[in-house]
Structure 1
Amino acid sequence: MRPLYIQLYEEFRDKIIEGEYRAGTRLPSKRNLSADLNLSGTTIEHAYQTLMDEGYIYSKPRSGFFVSQIEQLPITRKHEPSLIHKEEEYFNYEFKTAQVDPTHFPYAQFRQLSRKAFEDENMELLISGDKEGYWPLRQAIAQYVFNSRGVKCTPNQVIVGSSTEQLSELITEILKTNRFLIEDPSYPPIRNVLEKKKIAYQNVPVIEHGIDMNIVEKSNFETVYVTPSHQFPTGEVMSIENRTRLIKWANKSKSRYIIEDDYDSEFRYFKKPLPALQSLDTKNKVIYISTFSKSLFPTVRIAYMVLPKHLIQKYQSLKHKENSTVSLHMQWIVSEFLRTGRFDRHLNKMRKVYENKISYIIKRLNEHPVISVRGEKTGMHFVLTVQDGDLNTILERAEKESLYIEPFKTYAEKTTSAKFVIGFGGVREEELEEHMDVLIRVLLGF
């Protein structure tokens, strides 16, 4: 059975499409609808949020929710081919890796900055900005990465983009002839870029404490792409010894570079964070990449990279650089969020929220000796293995329970064990106990 919020969402969606709710119509308040339908406020909130995400409704501060202006289309019946939506699969319980907890997001502060972004004194935001990104944002990023990760750079070295994948494509243009070493299993965007552009690459296994440095050191490839702070998907953290070896490897040749994707670096719970690779770099061999998708929210679509100074000239000489695909208004909002200290306060709060979640999750899992975990001390995902468990049987139980869990074999095809990548960021605190009850029941079959 589909979740109640999905049923409610579909009912409103169909009425809007049919024209029963015309553009500008005010929808019932969440409180009134909750009382009329005897549904929880959370269910109503989820339904309205889904309608907003898909553009069917919009909100006005202190006024409520209103129907958007959309083209009226025939309603899609269950027995007819869909004209509007490809049916998505919904789950009552989800442990997805790409989600964050929206409950504690500072909506009021972001709304305030959003309104201010469109005031008269910010009219320059309506004009095309620098291809490298909005200058005050680049300034704020340079200061933030130095304070938080020890990354040494000037704002001129910071390039803003819409995603890690977009920036990775740009790097391949800058480095031109280089061949890549990538982690196996690896973070999907870099593999997508290399395959799309038909660039040679070699897979290097991820072992304990990061990428296998013995293979890296024997290879004749020039560039290595790593996620040292919290490897995706294994969750391994590269040791300081391997970080030093990797820097030394890069220093041995003028054409060698390290691309450091500082994935999940903001969230480390039980130990002092290791410094960024770039902070150990004394010969300008590290290209640093990060994003605000986990520290703020995935749809913010702002990533950034720090180029070594001598590569800035190569970047500037590229003939066909596209303009920044990130909204100038969103860049302004995030720059103000950083500049005023709001970002640091939000991050500190979220670290505590996620630390409480992972502590509870590990406590529950430790009650069952056949379940083991790795990579749980950093980030918002970890790897879980059920000793002697059958992968297909567990996935069948998950489907019956409407539980989403991602098998590790999604990233490592040869894996046949009952191993899963568990993302906990998007599970709300009030829902965590029930999620864990279902997860354990599915994993162990009781």
Structure 2
Amino acid sequence: MTLYLELYESLKSQIISGDYETDDKLPSKRQLEKHLNVSQTTIERAYELLLDEGFIYSKPRSGYYVSKLEVLPVVRKTQIESDEKTIEQDYTYSFETAQVDLEHFPFDTFRKLSRQVFDAPYEHLLNEDYNEGLYELRQQIAKYLFNSRGVSASHDQIIIGSSTNQLMEYVVRLLNNHTFMIESPSYPPAKMVLEKHRIDYMTLPLESDGINIDDVKNSHRDVIFITPSHHFPTGSVMTIEKRTQLLKWAYEKENRYIIEDDYDSEFRYFKKPLPALQSLDTESRVIYISTFSKALFPMLRMAYMVLPKHLVEDFHRLKYKESNTVPVHTQQIVALFLRSGHFDRHLNKMRNIYEKKITYIMKRLKPYETELTVSGEQAGMHFVLTVTNGRTLDDCLKRAKTRDLKIEPMKTYDKNHTDVSFVIGFGSIPFSQLESHMDLLIDALTG
């Protein structure tokens, strides 16, 4: 099918299912050209088809809007649970990975939306059960994922949860007869959930550009958990070649699945963003998971996943699902934050701020490139710093401690790691304090 027909079908499906509401404005051709990497001609032809069939209408010098349609009723059902690890800060200076920059967060806007949600028009939220998550929030997430990551999904494929851990709990129950693989080192939630349920899994060593596809093929397993956009903790990014090879592996046999944790996908600095693996999937084999922890703040405790359509009914049939633990008013606030455009503006602002920080950090480290090696700096809010000047891990940690500086060794996540490496998180450090942090870091590891 040609590209413009694919785009037309995807947009039509979202309109029919109610992900777009009457008079909602569609993304501009320039926005879609940037996010989907297709020509404006392709986008224009898709919009013309929608226009001809009455799904949308145009306003001169304004854009395209959704026509009034009868939307099919929505079926709802789901749950949640879990906790995310927070690290207590005991040091004056710290390069922590689990925190974000709150100095520039739009608290006034968030407070305004909070007051709005607790006003009379939203009293119905107190009495209704939203097991899968609030309908409007799932609508907005579907639109956001399509526009920003190319992920094509209807709102009824989206499940809201409190964390990656909780969503993985669902996935493990859905795929309870399957065999699992995870990356090594691995993102902790996947490993924790598998071990909690005493599920045997295989670990696959990570290369600089993602897992080795031959290892996957030789594993004789049928489910793999990966973080292709910005692996934690190594920071590696899976190449498009490996992504397509992994999809081909999944298509070779029935019941093979890829669990894609799109970790840190919102922030990529020096190269063009790669599409989400789910956006390349043509046979519904990718289960997509992401959170608002980095885009907004960790203590929001809100994550979401996109299930392949054929797994949605299986999910509904799961027994003993708990009620949704994400407060419904919080879901409504985030839905309004997305719908109003504040979320996109906040992301763009933070992307520039984090890029400014990592650029400064790389500039400070460049004179020490014979002693310190950097990797994984092209995306996200952490990178790996490897000491190559002969200092031991214990020596580096002792020197950091005497400087009241907290740094996290790679060995925390990979016991077999032999290099003297540290996972350096920079997201939460105000730019005004970055110079003093870098002074101490460089002094502790070189000096």
TM bucket, shorter chain: 0.7 to 0.9
Shift of 1:274: 0.2
| 1:434 maps onto 2:436 in alignment | yes
In the other structure, the counterpart of 1:373 is: 374
Q: How far 1:323 sits from its partner (Å)?
A: 1.0
Offset of residue 346 of structure 1: 0.2
Q: Given that residues 204 and 215 in structure 1 are in contact (C-alpha distance below 8 angstroms), is that contact kept between their aligned partners in structure 2?
A: yes
Residues in 2 aligned to 1:417 and 1:187: alpha-carbon distance in whole angstroms: 19
> What amino acid does structure 2 have at the position aligned with 1:385?
T
Matched, 1:423 2:425: yes
Separation in 2, partners of 1:208, 1:105: 33
- 1:187 CA displacement: 0.3
Offset, 1:128: 4.1
TM-score by length of 1: 0.79
Which residue matches 1:383?
Answer: 384
What's the CA shift for 1:426? 0.7
Partner amino acid, structure 1, of 2:307: L
SS in 2 for 1:167: helix
Deviations 1:342-389 (A, max 9, x none): 000000000000000000001101111211100101000000001022
Q: How many residue pairs get matched?
A: 359
Q: Is the 8 A contact 1:182 1:202 kept in 2?
A: yes
Offset of residue 417 of structure 1: 2.3
Please give the residue correspondences for 1:88-167 in structure 2 after superposition, counting only pairs within 5 Å: 90-167=90-167
TM-score normalised by L of structure 2: 0.79
Secondary structure in structure 1 of the residue aligned to 2:181: strand
Give 4+ residue runs of structure 1 displaced > 3 Å after superposition.
none
Asked if 1 retains the 8 angstrom alpha-carbon contact of 2:130 and 2:328, the reply is no
Deviations 1:52-103 (A, max 9, x none): xxxxxxxxxxxxxxxxxxxxxxxxxxxxxxxxxxx96610101000010000
1:235-269 deviations in whole A, cap 9, x for unaligned? 00000110001000000111100000000000000
Structure 1 stretches lacking a partner, 5+ long: 1-86
Post-superposition shift, 1:214? 1.1
The aligned residue for residue 274 of structure 1 is: 274
Q: Distance in 2 between matches of 1:230 and 1:397?
A: 29
How far off is 1:127 after superposition?
Answer: 2.2
Task: Provide the C-alpha distance between the structure 1 equivalents of 2:391 and 2:259, rounded to a whole number of angstroms.
Answer: 37
Partner of 1:326: 326
The alpha-carbon deviation at position 130 of structure 1 amounts to 1.9
Give the whole-Å Cα distance in 2 for the aligned partners of 1:438 and 1:127.
53
CA RMSD across the alignment? 1.1
Q: Where in structure 2 are there 5+ consecutive unaligned residues? A: 1-86
Q: Percent identity?
A: 55
Give the distance between the partners of 2:234 and 2:417, measured in 1 at CA.
12
1:315-364 Cα distance to aligned partner (Å, 9 max, x none) = 01111111111000100000000001000000000000000000000110
CA contact (8 A) 1:391 1:416 kept: no
CA contact (8 A) 1:389 1:417 kept: no
2:256 maps to which residue?
256
Task: Point out the structure with max Rg over C-alpha.
Answer: 1
Partner SS, residue 366 of structure 1: helix
Q: Name the residue aligned to 1:8.
A: none
Give the counterpart of 2:402 among 400, 403, 414: 400
SS at match of 1:145: helix
Contact 2:137–2:331, Cα closer than 8 Å, also in 1 = yes
The CA deviation string for residues 100-151 of structure 1, in whole angstroms up to 9 with x for no partner, is: 0000000000000111111011001212432110000000000000000000
Q: Is the 8 A contact 2:182 2:203 kept in 1?
A: yes
For the Cα contact (< 8 Å) 1:390–1:417, is it kept in 2? no
Taking the aligned partners of 1:158 and 1:424, their CA distance within structure 2 comes to 31
Amino acid at match of 1:147: N
1:413-440 Cα offsets, whole Å, 9 max, x none, are: 1223210000000111110000000000
Counterparts of 1:287 and 1:159, CA distance in 2: 11
Q: Secondary structure at the match of 1:372?
A: strand
Q: Is the 8 A contact 2:91 2:406 kept in 1?
A: yes
In 2, the alpha carbon distance for the partners of 1:211 and 1:134 equals: 36
What's the counterpart of residue 210 of structure 1? Answer: 210
Letter in 2 for 1:105: F
Deviations 1:197-244 (A, max 9, x none): 011100001102101211001111110000000011110000011000
User: What is the letter of the counterpart of residue 402 of structure 1?
Assistant: D
Tell me which amino acid in the other structure corresponds to 1:363: K
Give the deviation of 1:306 after TM superposition: 0.2
Amino acid at match of 1:316: H
Report Cα offsets for 1:146-168 as digits up to 9, x if no partner: 00000010000000000000000
